[in-house]
């Protein structure tokens, strides 16, 4: 999930539909992007549109994306380690 994108949208008092309209895409497509289920790696044209809508740099978008990916990887690594420990004790 792209929490950074959801938070940015909400902090700007915009709905998903409003962002989808500004990006010239369907609500479903935007929703999947915000959930991280579409464009696992945000493509450049989407990143450019988001930077224009929210008036932020592409570098900041890249930072947000990388930060969330690291957080997700660390969480998954902890789950995997816990599961490995459980399996070794069985």
pLDDT of the chain, 90 residues: tens digit per residue: 899 999 999 999 999 999 999 999 999 999 999 998 888 778 999 999 999 999 999 999 999 998 887 887 888 888 888 888 877 766
**DSSP secondary structure letters along 13-28:** T--HHHHHHHTTS-HH
SS3 state at 56: coil
pLDDT of residue 33: 95
User: pTM of the predicted model, to two decimals?
Assistant: 0.76
């Amino acid at each position: 999930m792209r929490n950074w994108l959801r938070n940015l949208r909400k902090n700007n008092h915009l709905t998903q539909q409003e962002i989808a309209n500004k990006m010239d895409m369907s609500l479903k497509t935007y929703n999947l992007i915000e959930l991280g289920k579409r464009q696992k790696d945000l493509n450049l044209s989407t990143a450019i549109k988001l930077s224009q809508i929210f008036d932020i740099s592409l570098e900041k978008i890249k930072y947000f994306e990388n930060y969330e990916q690291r957080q997700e990887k660390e969480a998954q690594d902890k789950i995997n380690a816990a599961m490995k420990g459980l399996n070794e004790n069985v």
